[in-house]
Amino acid sequence: MLRQVLRTVAREGILSSSELAQRLDVGEELVYEIIEELGHLRYLKAVAGDCNHRCSGCPFASDCAMGGVGRIWALTEKGLRASDVP
């Protein structure tokens, strides 16, 4: 499941936790746990803290689907290699 999350993020970019849960057909709570574990293992890194929904000037505004809630995570080099997505 960890690799599946990495592949999904590598292919689709920034997703909300609900979108990621939907694509993987799992609950959001499991998605939160997986993302935290991937961050701990350094496959993902937080690139923005708790979003305050001030989109103007945000470098992720065009890709963001967070809706002003949560963190934005990005693949690290290690995560990209592990995803096996070119």
Q: CATH code at 41?
A: 1.10.10.10
3-class secondary structure, 58: coil
Does pTM surpass 0.75? no
Both structure tokens of 53: 């929904």
Does residue 68 sit within a domain?
yes
Strand partners, 44: 75
Does residue 86 sit within a domain?
no
Quick one: pLDDT at residue 16?
75
pLDDT-above-70 percentage for the chain: 72
Does residue 85 sit within a domain?
no
Domain containing residue 61:
2-80
Residue-averaged pLDDT of the chain: 78
What is the number of domains present in the chain? 1
Does residue 42 sit within a domain?
yes
